[in-house]
C-alpha cells in the first residue's frame, strides 16, 4: 500500500475540529450582559469568532457600540471564567470528525492542534470530550508568548517540532489559519462548515472541504 503523503496533520480547533459556537456564544453573552449590551443571537455568534476570546469579545463590543478599553480586561476575564466553567456543554466534533481522525490514525499520521484559544482551555475542552489522547501536541495562542498566535507561523513550526518533524499539512477555517500555514510553508485545507471570516473559496487555501469525509482523499491528492 502506498504511504500516506503526510506525517503530521494539524487542525485549528474552533470551527474546524469542533463546533464550539453555542458554548462560546453563551460565554460571550454573559460578558455582554455585564457590559450592558444586548445579547448576540446564538445562530449569529459565528461571525464574531476567530482570533481567540479577546478578539471575539472585541468584535461583539464594536458591533454593539464600541469598546471601553479600561473595562475590557475585567470583561475578558469574566468571559473566560464563564467559558471555562461551561466549556463542553454543547461543543462536539463536526460531522464525520471521529471517523476522519480514526482514518488518519490508521495511516500512522500524528495529529496536532494549533489554536488561538488559550492552551489550558483547549486542553480542558479536549479532555472533557475524551479526545485529548488523540493528539501528539496541543498548542494554544498563549503557549509561545506574545506575538506568536496565528497568522504568525510560530505555532505551526512548533507543532511540527513537537510531532518529531516530517511533512505536515494544516486544516482550518479562517484567514488566521490560512495565513499561518502559508507563512509556515504548509499546504492548507479550509472547512466550509466552519466559522470563516470570508467566503471559504476566497481564503486562499489549497482546497476546500464541505465535510470531513472529504479530508483524507483531498490530503492524498495534495500529496
Catalytic residue numbers? 12
| String of DSSP letters for 126-166 | HHHTT-GGG-SEEE-TTSS-TT-STTSSHHHHHHHHHTTS-
Cell of 91: 461543543
How many whole angstroms separate alpha carbon 14 and alpha carbon 107?
25
Count of C-beta atoms within a 10 Å radius of residue 55: 16
Paired residues of 207 in beta bridges: 189
What is the phi/psi pair of residue 189, to 5°? -120, 135
Helix %, strand %, coil % of the chain (to 5): 45, 15, 40
Amino acid at each position: 500500500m502506498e504511504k500516506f503523503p503526510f506525517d503530521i496533520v494539524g487542525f485549528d480547533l474552533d470551527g474546524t475540529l469542533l463546533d464550539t459556537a453555542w458554548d462560546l456564544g453563551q460565554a460571550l453573552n454573559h460578558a455582554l450582559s455585564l457590559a450592558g449590551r444586548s445579547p448576540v443571537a446564538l445562530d449569529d455568534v459565528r461571525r464574531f469568532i476567530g482570533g481567540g476570546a479577546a478578539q471575539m469579545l472585541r468584535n461583539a463590543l464594536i458591533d454593539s457600540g464600541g469598546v471601553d478599553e479600561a473595562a475590557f480586561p475585567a470583561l475578558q476575564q469574566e468571559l473566560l471564567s464563564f467559558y471555562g466553567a461551561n466549556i463542553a456543554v454543547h461543543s462536539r466534533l463536526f460531522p464525520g470528525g471521529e471517523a476522519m481522525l480514526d482514518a488518519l490514525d490508521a495511516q500512522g499520521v500524528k495529529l496536532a492542534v494549533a489554536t488561538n484559544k488559550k492552551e489550558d482551555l483547549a486542553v480542558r475542552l479536549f479532555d472533557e470530550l475524551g479526545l485529548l489522547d488523540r493528539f501528539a501536541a496541543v498548542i494554544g495562542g498563549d503557549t509561545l508568548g506574545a506575538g506568536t498566535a496565528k497568522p504568525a507561523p510560530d505555532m505551526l513550526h512548533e507543532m511540527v517540532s513537537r510531532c518529531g518533524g516530517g511533512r505536515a499539512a494544516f486544516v482550518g477555517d479562517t484567514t488566521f489559519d490560512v495565513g499561518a500555514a502559508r507563512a509556515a510553508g504548509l499546504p492548507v485545507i479550509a472547512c466550509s462548515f466552519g466559522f470563516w471570516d470570508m467566503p471559504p473559496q476566497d481564503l486562499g487555501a489549497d482546497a476546500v472541504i464541505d465535510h470531513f469525509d472529504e479530508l483524507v482523499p483531498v490530503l492524498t491528492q495534495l500529496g
